[in-house]
Amino acid sequence: MSKININKSWKYDEALESKSHINLKDKYNLFIDGEFVKPLSRKYFKTINPATNESISEIAEANEKDVDLAVKSARKAFKSWSKLDPKERAKYIFRIARMIQERAKEFAVIESLNGGKPIRESRDIDIPLAANHFFYYAGWADKLEYAFPNKVPKPLGVAGQIIPWNFPLLMAAWKIAPAIACGNTVVLKPAETTSLTALKLAELIKDSGLPKGVVNIVTGAGKTGAAIVNHPDINKIAFTGSTEVGKLIERSLAGIEKKTTLELGGKGANIIFEDAAIDQAVEGIVNAIFFNQGHVCCAGSRLFIQASVADTVIEKLKDRISTLIVGDPLDKNTDIGAINSVEQLNTIEKYIEIGKKEGGEIYQTECSLPKKGNWCPPTLFLNVSQSHTIVKEEIFGPVLAIQTFRTIDEVIEKANNSPFGLSAGVWTEKGSKIFKLTKELNAGVVWANTYNKFDPCSPFGGFKESGMGREGGLHGLKSYIKFE
């Protein structure tokens, strides 16, 4: 029997996470020099809940002058922070990690409210991982000479950090923790649509007693990001976002002495061999593409199935996705939450239309979708090939393009036929195949018999148009130091 035996007669009752313990202001100012200050721009923008498209709060929009104030504060703080005994630096970072754990429930609910991701994910993945990044880099702060033996590591200075909307708190942790552990100070800009958990982190940082100006958080849209990139007194730019904006940033920094790391888009290949444990692989396919509504740079958005098992895998996959619950991000049963913004939903729908027009065979489940908000059912495209737009371009939504292959060399060639090189997955019982693929796939991360597993100890980053530099692990420290 090829179907997964799923008992579909079970109906889930609503299991809403409570919002009673969260504390949100009507208006958020910029976090500069350890205080919340009104923006010189005097402008605010609304931040919305993508599950209802209703406004949650108003957020300050930083202009060039605001960014300049933040950079000045970071520069001033750098003088003492970089000279502080590393053991003391570690204590602050450790304290931030503990405080995130203590306030985890509040962070999780706000992350789901503002970003649309299922509470199951923000509660069990985003927030614990964010705390883990602070713990991990707290550990390195006073051991840098062991990380780089026979060298004298020195901090770079002020780091400008720009992050996207898909993992708001986690991306802030990825950026801030290694930077301050190495003795740098920071000006961070969260994404326009999901600034709330970064601002809650600013409140937490204030409560932690971290010296003023070590972390500054300026909110705003692309212009605010550009003001950070082009500020003359910033020593390092760490950017995570689209390849398009990454290229813009690279162009504007060409010839300027600013260290840069770019974590950009992806189009991950998830490869299922005939000898794989098929039911587990089907779970892996679901996790690879439907985690966080597919708003994941390393999503396994290109599925390659060995031809001999293709019919079985596709039948099981259709059966499995028919059980996925799309709906309220705050419901603990929800598998796929809200699409992050109306703009992103339009982009995904545009790609689905292109997929159909170019001859792809679409399969969508008949799940019920809420009336208000931004939703997209889990979507499969069959009968597509390497030249289809939906196979080539990053969609950043719950849309999977499925192809088949016969030999190992064929799938390596197909998987590498992409301008991106961020991630891949391999499902097989043969270790030898895993080693061959991890060696020959052009991807910064290759998971074997699992997918979308993250750990602060592991470096993460891409090749080709997926960016340059690594974050996480020991490699992540290297991006924030120079040697003397």
| Nearest C-alpha neighbor of 362 from the set 345, 343, 373, 378 | 378
Measured from the CB of residue 171, what is the shortest distance to ligand NDP in angstroms?
7
**Segment interacting with ligand NDP (CB under 6 A) among 94-102, 225-233, 359-367, 380-388:** 225-233
**Segment interacting with ligand NDP (CB under 6 A) among 94-102, 219-227, 314-322, 370-378:** 219-227
265 binds ligand NDP, rule: CB under 6 A: yes
Measured from the CB of residue 470, what is the shortest distance to ligand NDP in angstroms?
10
Residue 281 or 477 with smaller CB distance to ligand NDP: 477
Residue 34 or 462 with smaller CB distance to ligand NDP: 462
| Cα–Cα dist 225/188, whole Å | 9
Position among 221, 324, 367, 382 found at the interface with ligand NDP (CB under 6 A): 221
Has 244 been annotated as catalytic?
A: no
**Segment interacting with ligand NDP (CB under 6 A) among 92-100, 176-184, 263-271, 450-458:** 263-271
**Catalytic residue (choose from 17, 192, 263, 471):** 263
Q: Which of residues 434-463 bind ligand NDP (CB under 6 A)?
A: 462
Position among 17, 106, 121, 263 found at the interface with ligand NDP (CB under 6 A): 263
Position among 164, 327, 360, 373 found at the interface with ligand NDP (CB under 6 A): 164
Position among 66, 192, 328, 331 found at the interface with ligand NDP (CB under 6 A): 192
Strand partners, 35: 32
Residue 282 or 424 with smaller CB distance to ligand NDP: 424
How many residues of this chain bind ligand NDP (CB under 6 A)? 30
Q: Which of residues 382-421 bind ligand NDP (CB under 6 A)?
A: 394, 396
337 binds ligand NDP, rule: CB under 6 A: no
* 183, 89 contact by CB (below 8 A): yes
Measured from the CB of residue 268, what is the shortest distance to ligand NDP in angstroms?
10
Position among 32, 113, 229, 313 found at the interface with ligand NDP (CB under 6 A): 229
The residue written with tokens 């002020």 in the block is 158
Measured from the CB of residue 361, what is the shortest distance to ligand NDP in angstroms?
26
Q: 215 φ, ψ to 5°? A: -125, 125
242 binds ligand NDP, rule: CB under 6 A: yes
226 binds ligand NDP, rule: CB under 6 A: yes
288 binds ligand NDP, rule: CB under 6 A: no
Position among 297, 339, 380, 400 found at the interface with ligand NDP (CB under 6 A): 297
**Catalytic residue (choose from 297, 298, 394, 471):** 297
Residue 323 or 416 with smaller CB distance to ligand NDP: 416
**Segment interacting with ligand NDP (CB under 6 A) among 17-25, 146-154, 238-246, 308-316:** 238-246
Has 297 been annotated as catalytic?
A: yes
189 binds ligand NDP, rule: CB under 6 A: yes
Radius of gyration of the chain (CA): 22
Position among 49, 166, 261, 442 found at the interface with ligand NDP (CB under 6 A): 166
Q: 402 φ, ψ to 5°? A: -110, 130
Measured from the CB of residue 410, what is the shortest distance to ligand NDP in angstroms?
26
422 binds ligand NDP, rule: CB under 6 A: yes
Position among 115, 266, 355, 398 found at the interface with ligand NDP (CB under 6 A): 266
> What is the SS3 string spanning the chain?
CCCCCCCCCCCCCCCECCCCCCCCCCEECEEECCEEECCCCCCEEEEEECCCCEEEEEEECCCHHHHHHHHHHHHHHHHHHCCCCHHHHHHHHHHHHHHHHHCHHHHHHHHHHHHCCCHHHHHHHHHHHHHHHHHHHHHHCCCHHHHCCCCCEEECCEEEEECCCCCHHHHHHHHHHHHHHCCCEEEEECCCCCCHHHHHHHHHHHHHCCCCCCEEECCCCHHHHHHHHCCCCCCEEEEECCHHHHHHHHHHHCCCCCEEEEECCCCCEEEECCCCCHHHHHHHHHHHHHHHHHCCCCCCCEEEEEHHHHHHHHHHHHHHHCCCCECCCCECCCCECCCCCHHHHHHHHHHHHHHHHCCCEEEECCCCCCCCCCCCCCEEEECCCCCCHHHHCCCCCCEEEEEEECCHHHHHHHHHCCCEECEEEEECCCHHHHHHHHHHCCCCEEEECCCCCCCCCCCECCEECCEECCECHHHHHHCCEEEC
Residue 247 or 430 with smaller CB distance to ligand NDP: 247
Residue showing the smallest CB distance to ligand NDP in the complex: 225
| Nearest C-alpha neighbor of 186 from the set 217, 163, 223, 144 | 217
348 binds ligand NDP, rule: CB under 6 A: no
Strand partners, 28: 59
Residue 61 or 106 with smaller CB distance to ligand NDP: 61
| Cα–Cα dist 81/75, whole Å | 10
17 binds ligand NDP, rule: CB under 6 A: no
* 196, 47 contact by CB (below 8 A): yes
Catalytically active residues are 263, 297
Binding residues for ligand NDP, rule: CB under 6 A, are 162-166, 189, 191-192, 221-222, 225-226, 229, 240-242, 245, 248-249, 263-266, 297, 394, 396, 422, 462, 466-467
